[in-house]
Amino acid sequence: MTRDEIPFQTGYSIRPEHMQSMLLARLERASHFLLMTPGAAIAARAASVPSGLGVFVLAMFLFVWQPGTKSVLASAQKQNYENLRAKIDDLPKAGLQQGFALLQENDSQTPGCLCEVACMGEMIRRGITPDFSLTWLQKVMAFMAGDLPRQ
């Protein structure tokens, strides 16, 4: 990777981490809200067994997958990339490549539908006209993640 490619790749890496952090935080908040609503009905004995099963499944999802924790990790990784981007001009090429490679080892597992969105967003930020368009699913996921690129 050349020295000129690293600033683009760093900016490109920041975007999916930001979207992943935002998407998982919103998912966790929505899940907690959905847990409270039937949970209150069950506590008031106004709900049936399927509502209790729904609360159990949602609680297990939050316990096992832990979107809040993954959101915090993605946010921290985004901050690490931003710190590297701030030092790009001061670092020699070898140090820059090594720092970028070390950061890539801790990247979040970003859904594939957000990768092209991140690439398009970074291209627009740098003044490059994208030669592809987003699918409907990519636009919806980017909107939910809070980073829908506009040309």
pLDDT in tens, 40-66: 777 667 667 777 788 888 889 999 999
Assess if residue 95 is contained within a domain: yes
Query: Which residue is associated with the tokens 């509502």?
Result: 51
| pLDDT given for residue 66 in this prediction | 93
Assess if residue 127 is contained within a domain: no
CA angle (121 as vertex; 117, 126 as ends), nearest 5: 150
The whole-chain average pLDDT of the chain stands at 90
Question: With 0-12 CB in 10 A as exposed, 13-18 as middle and 19+ as buried, what is 149?
Answer: buried
Give pTM, 2 decimals. Answer: 0.85
Contacting residues for 65 by C-beta, under 8 A, at least 6 apart: none
Query: If you average pLDDT over residues 103-131, what whole number do you get?
Result: 93
Assess if residue 131 is contained within a domain: no
Q: How far apart are CA 52 and CA 46, in angstroms?
A: 11
| pLDDT given for residue 28 in this prediction | 95
Tokens of 2: 């050349």
> What residues make up the domain containing 73?
5-111
Assess if residue 11 is contained within a domain: yes
Cα 125 to the chain's mean position, in Å? 18
Domain count, the chain: 1
What percent of the chain is predicted at pLDDT more than 70?
Answer: 97
Q: How far apart are CA 62 and CA 69, in angstroms?
A: 10
Report which of 2, 6, 8 is spatially closest to residue 102, judged by C-alpha positions. 6
| Residue 27 reports pLDDT greater than 90 | yes
* Alpha-carbon torsion, ordered 110, 114, 118, 120, to 10 deg: 160
Query: If you average pLDDT over residues 23-28, what whole number do you get?
Result: 96
Query: If you average pLDDT over residues 2-8, what whole number do you get?
Result: 86
